[in-house]
Amino acid sequence: MKQSKFPPGWDEERVRRVLEQYDTQSDDEAIAEDEAAYESTTHTTMEIPVDLVPKVRELLAKRRAG
């Protein structure tokens, strides 16, 4: 059987807890969570032309690296 791969810090138990959270979440709770994401003062959401996505990813990778 193929071994599942998880991102660093994640395991099967953590994935199950996240799935349980979202499976039992009410519509109102889901909406509130989505709206709260747009109120962040540390991150933003924006539309980027598809042809610029590789450059943006490159810039983000450089920022994370140092």
> DSSP assignment of 7-58, as one string?
-TT--HHHHHHHHHHHHS--HHHHHHHHHHHTT-SS-------GGGHHHHHH
* C-alpha span between 30 and 22 (Å, rounded): 8
Output the pLDDT for position 1: 58
pTM for the structure as a whole? 0.51
For 10-54, the pLDDT digits (tens) are: 999 999 999 999 999 999 999 999 898 888 788 888 899 999 999
